[in-house]
A and B are shown apart, each in its own frame.
Chain A
Amino acid sequence: MEAPLVTLQSGPREKLRLAFAVNGEERELLVEPYKTLLEVLREDLGLTGTKHGCELGECGACAVLLDGELALSCLVPAVECGGRAVTTIEGLRDGPELHPLQAAFADHGAAQCGYCTPGMIVAARWLLDRKPDATRQEIADALAGQLCRCTGYQQIYEAVESAGRVLRGLPPLPPVVAAVHGEEPHGR
Chain B
Amino acid sequence: MMRLPRFRYLAPASLPEAVKVLGDLGPEAMPLAGGTDLVPNMKRRQQTPANLVGLRGLAALRAVSGDAGRGLTLGAMTRLAEVERGPVAAGWPALARAAATVATPPIRNTATLGGNLCLDTRCSYYDQGEEWRRSIGYCMKREGETCWVAPGSDRCWAVSSSDTAPVLCALGAEVTLLSRGGERRIPVAELFADDGIRHLSRRPDELLTAVHLPPVEAGQRAAYVKLRRRGSFDFPVLGVAARVRLSAGGTVEAARIFLGAVGSRPQEARAAADFLVGRRLGDEEVIREAARLAAQVAKPMQNTDLTLGWRKGVAREYAARALRELVG
Give A contacts to B, CB under 8 Å: 1, 3-13, 16, 32-36, 39, 52, 54-58, 60, 63, 66, 69-72, 74-77, 79-80, 123, 141-146
- List the one stretch of B50-58, B151-159, B242-250, B315-323 in contact with chain A: B50-58
For window 1-53 of B, CB contacts with A under 8 Å fall at 1-14, 16-17, 21, 32, 34-36, 39-40, 43-44, 50, 52
CB contact under 8 A between A141 and B105, given known A9-B9, A10-B9, A16-B9: yes
A70 adjacent to B105 (CB under 8 Å): yes
CB contact under 8 A between A57 and B40, given known A5-B17, A69-B109: yes
- Of A7, A58, A80, the residue contacting B13 (CB under 8 A) is A7
Q: Would you list the 8 A-B pairs with minimal beta carbon distance, nearest first?
A: A145-B104, A144-B232, A3-B14, A55-B2, A8-B11, A33-B9, A34-B4, A12-B6
Q: Which residues of A contact B106 (CB under 8 A)?
A: 57, 60, 63, 70-72, 123, 145
Q: Which residues of A contact B277 (CB under 8 A)?
A: none
Minimum CB distance partner of A42 in chain B: B1
24 intermolecular pairs with C-beta atoms under 8 Å apart = A3-B12, A3-B17, A7-B57, A9-B8, A9-B9, A12-B50, A34-B5, A36-B39, A56-B2, A56-B44, A57-B103, A72-B36, A72-B110, A74-B39, A75-B40, A76-B110, A77-B39, A77-B54, A80-B11, A142-B105, A144-B231, A145-B106, A145-B107, A145-B232
Interface size band for B: 35 or more
B6 adjacent to A34 (CB under 8 Å): yes
> Is residue B132 contacting chain A, with contact meaning CB distance below 8 A?
no
Minimum CB distance partner of B14 in chain A: A3
CA distance A5 to B81 in the complex (A): 32
A12 adjacent to B105 (CB under 8 Å): no
Q: Which residues of B contact A54 (CB under 8 A)?
A: 2
B12 adjacent to A7 (CB under 8 Å): yes
Least CB distance, A44 to chain B, in whole angstroms:
13
For window 181-226 of B, CB contacts with A under 8 Å fall at none
Minimum CB distance partner of B127 in chain A: A56
B9 adjacent to A77 (CB under 8 Å): yes
A144 adjacent to B104 (CB under 8 Å): yes
CA distance A158 to B3 in the complex (A): 36
CA distance A133 to B189 in the complex (A): 42
B11 adjacent to A7 (CB under 8 Å): yes
- Of B1, B17, B35, the residue contacting A6 (CB under 8 A) is B17
Q: Which residues of A contact B8 (CB under 8 A)?
A: 9-12, 33
B1 adjacent to A76 (CB under 8 Å): no
Q: Which residues of B contact A16 (CB under 8 A)?
A: 9
Q: Which residues of A contact B4 (CB under 8 A)?
A: 34-36, 77
- Of A58, A71, A141, the residue contacting B233 (CB under 8 A) is A58
CA distance A16 to B6 in the complex (A): 13
CA distance A123 to B105 in the complex (A): 9
CA distance A168 to B57 in the complex (A): 37
For window 243-260 of B, CB contacts with A under 8 Å fall at none
Other than A54-B2, A56-B44, A145-B107, give 11 A-B pairs with Cβ distance below 8 A. Answer: A6-B21, A7-B12, A9-B10, A12-B8, A13-B6, A39-B3, A63-B106, A75-B36, A75-B40, A77-B4, A144-B233
Q: Which residues of B contact A63 (CB under 8 A)?
A: 106
Q: Which residues of A contact B1 (CB under 8 A)?
A: 39, 52, 55
CB contact under 8 A between A57 and B107, given known A3-B14, A77-B35: yes
B6 adjacent to A33 (CB under 8 Å): yes
A76 adjacent to B35 (CB under 8 Å): yes
Q: Which residues of A contact B43 (CB under 8 A)?
A: 55-56
A6 adjacent to B13 (CB under 8 Å): yes
A75 adjacent to B35 (CB under 8 Å): yes
CA distance A66 to B52 in the complex (A): 21
Q: Which residues of B contact A11 (CB under 8 A)?
A: 8
CA distance A38 to B24 in the complex (A): 31
Minimum CB distance partner of B39 in chain A: A75
Least CB distance, A149 to chain B, in whole angstroms:
14
B13 adjacent to A144 (CB under 8 Å): no
A34 adjacent to B3 (CB under 8 Å): yes
Minimum CB distance partner of B100 in chain A: A141
Least CB distance, A65 to chain B, in whole angstroms:
10
